[in-house]
Structure 1
């Protein structure tokens, strides 16, 4: 009996149920087993069901680069009600080559995909299928480089790449829809002549992309948040709570929020956060949370991101023998310590030729979901 005949002898419902339990990389490999399995795993019902289940159990994706490789780790993003409050896990990892010259700037995981930049070319990465896709340059007129953002429309299930010129104000951008028949970049007017901040991490929340920018108002630059509706491709401008305000954009319990950069200094006793309550009226609500982090601890751990449950994730800045993540729930004022095995130990370093040096420059992506989208 051939492999194809054997796989076809199983009821399609049972085969589907089994394949849905596999990680994304295994599902992609299973497509080469037989035409039958390939038809199942590429069917719209299967891919939608897989991504729905993956969304219910998001993970914390992290990686660091060394020479021409990226080392990728996916951690269980535990529920904040998990007990005990200090525990350890073994974690699987993988490494792969990445496009040379790729700039791993601040970004986020948007429905399973991550967007970077290679010189003037946007790069899309699917960590689940281990694929990189280098896109064509959007336009030659972006003289000083470009800034790239990635958005996702949950209604139509489409990813869109948005490119803005770097270091100069503009009233237009370039947009490309991934997976569409139209492969060329489109010009979209932004309604507001503004300059996107090159270190801004765009945040896509419920089909709206947000990013930091500056806007010329009566001969003076003011900091603002620009919003881009991924489906309608309409731009809008959101004012900060007060002028000269600046901070890091995050997602907090399904809303856009901003961490006050002046309150992240080492001598501060907590975190000040502004939550966007009404985008049309530019209304923000302020919250200040005390944290248990001393000045010494803040030198060791850095706040990287926030989970969907509202926990701040503190990651060790450099690590040598162990890798620890701290989850801080500001509303409960509780702290969870999680140590992950298999990252910094001698066996990992020996197998990957990393020696006995400290590892650093970690990139963190909370609320990551696996997607079967092929690049």
Structure 2
């Protein structure tokens, strides 16, 4: 999660991929596409569009020995991206976050009606460092710096359910504002792949929370469960992102353990924002366009432009990583192959569309 990447030297092709149901291996594309920014490590990416183009944010990384909590990138046209090396959108941490190992993951930025911006993000809980919770921070500028006003109080933190991660904002056509996130049940799982394939399996539901349309954080009502992990999902479902395509609400998510080649991007569809959601997909799996373990897709709010990550330049298989580092073991903030398959996770982009109940992704040259 903390490594820099060498260039991903593959030919870029313009392609379209579509998957209808899990297990449709015959539909895998074997051609390769190139990641953006030459393969720069940029995991759990999210995108927001403003008047000057597209802005992307990612999980924390070490740059020149310094831990950057929220790295950033920019593109004027969604094709050519510039990594803002060393720039931190969230330079100061809230008091509720573990200062020794903050693990700021999966930020997502939305614009508010007054023109300011709100960032939803995940970080390690100081009172229980094994768990993550969700916070929010605001800024007058898309580029930050963002400030979390909560002090020692978390925003979404269901510790009995394992905490919460992977927040993502959505603004509906009727003006209502929502946040989707994951109950991180595998954090209190009983072992196995990503901590949650030994029975009894802990649920990892993806939740929908309405928030005040103006401030983006005052909660309205109780959260609603959208989907949860089933037998085909491995240890969890995670990384939710919501949009509307083809007149339907489409919830993108990843399933199976991120440290294995089973990790994927899938989706669920509903005719009402509150559901019920029916699982379809996958959209991307290992082998699609030459990617390995694609996941963490984010789609622009009220749009069809998407960004996600996949491992590149893998030097170890997941099994070799476990042998080298030990199950679930990390190496502080250093690069280690259990998380990164040797070189990290690069970002990829595409424009998505829905026909029937099948999502297609068209990559850009």
Q: TM-score, normalised by structure 1?
A: 0.44
Bigger Rg, structure 1 or 2: 1
Q: TM-score, normalised by structure 2?
A: 0.45
Larger relative strand fraction: 1
Larger relative helix fraction: 1
